[in-house]
């Protein structure tokens, strides 16, 4: 597999761990990272050694959202084709590829999760967070709204009062609150984060992987159907 600039990955005993790797920028996402993520997801989807995928961040941050300088302002000066490519890659890996990834996916949230980082958080099948991870729908502070897919998924995952509160105030909350409101599967003490994530991955690997793929595809597909269509 190609060497990457902005991400790291390792595959060990069936578990592929991808790490967003710009800790000095709190792993905010620039166009290079988006293009690399499309490529690595493509490769790991077809990799027979990879049974479960884990997504995490280097240092004390999971993902501080889009890179306000390089993704937003930087692209103001790009050609229309570069802009199109970057926004395609950003959407492609965070939503379409991850949401439909053919193997189970786990977000291992080790720290800050802001703004655009919610897209990949919600696209993963499971999310295990450190109790002291910090979440924030900070878009409102930048004069924008959470993107359509994030708002759509929040409308499903959270109740109305919680979703509207965090979307409209931009207030931050920790991993325990994220579990209480249904945004993550489980919140655990930081020192147990990796161990708990690997334990979940192993539990999943004890099932039939083709069946797991069907389980998630059917569930995610029927959600938008009525009963007759689902039948």
Residues in contact with ligand ACO by the rule CB under 6 A: 25-26, 28, 64-69, 112, 114-116, 138-139, 142
Q: Closest CB to ligand ACO among 43 and 132?
A: 132
Q: Closest CB to ligand ACO among 114 and 173?
A: 114
Of 94, 107, 101, nearest to 197 by C-alpha is: 107
Q: Closest CB to ligand ACO among 104 and 117?
A: 117
Least Cβ distance, residue 142 to ligand ACO (angstroms): 5
Q: Residue 186 and residue 184: Cα distance in Å, rounded?
A: 6
The alpha carbon dihedral of 71, 46, 118, 147 has a sign of positive
Q: Closest CB to ligand ACO among 47 and 70?
A: 70
Q: Closest CB to ligand ACO among 25 and 162?
A: 25
Beta strands at 172-174 and 7-12: parallel, antiparallel or unpaired:
unpaired
Least Cβ distance, residue 230 to ligand ACO (angstroms): 33
- Mapping DSSP onto H, E and C, the string for 59-99 reads CCEEECCECHHHHHHHHHHCCHHHHHHHHHHHHHHHHHHHH
Burial class, 226, CB count within 10 angstroms (exposed 0-12 / middle 13-18 / buried 19+): exposed
* Neighbouring residues of 5: CB distance < 8 A, sequence distance ≥ 6: 32, 36
Least Cβ distance, residue 229 to ligand ACO (angstroms): 33
Least Cβ distance, residue 94 to ligand ACO (angstroms): 11
Least Cβ distance, residue 66 to ligand ACO (angstroms): 4
User: At 114, phi and psi to the nearest 5?
Assistant: -125, 155
């Amino acid at each position: 597999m190609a060497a990457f600039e902005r991400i790291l990955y390792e595959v060990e005993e069936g578990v592929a761990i991808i790490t967003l790797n710009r800790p000095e920028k709190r792993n905010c996402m620039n166009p290079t990272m988006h293009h690399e993520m499309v490529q690595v997801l493509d490769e790991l989807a077809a990799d027979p050694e990879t049974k479960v995928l884990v997504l995490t961040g280097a240092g004390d941050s999971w993902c501080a959202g889009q890179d306000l300088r390089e993704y937003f302002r930087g692209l103001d000066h790009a050609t229309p084709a570069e802009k199109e490519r970057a926004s395609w890659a950003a959407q492609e890996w965070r939503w379409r590829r991850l949401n439909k990834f053919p193997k189970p996916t786990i977000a291992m949230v080790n720290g800050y999760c802001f703004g655009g980082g919610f897209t990949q958080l919600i696209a993963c099948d499971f999310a295990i967070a450190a109790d002291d991870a910090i979440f924030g729908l900070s878009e409102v502070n930048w004069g924008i709204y959470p993107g359509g897919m994030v708002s759509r998924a929040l409308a499903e995952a959270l109740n109305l009062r919680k979703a509207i509160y965090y979307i409209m105030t931009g207030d931050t909350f920790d991993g325990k609150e994220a579990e209480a409101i249904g945004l993550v599967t489980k919140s655990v003490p930081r020192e147990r984060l990796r161990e708990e994530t690997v334990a979940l991955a192993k539990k999943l690997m004890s099932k039939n992987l083709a069946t797991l793929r069907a389980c998630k595809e059917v569930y995610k597909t029927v959600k938008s159907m009525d009963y007759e269509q689902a039948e």
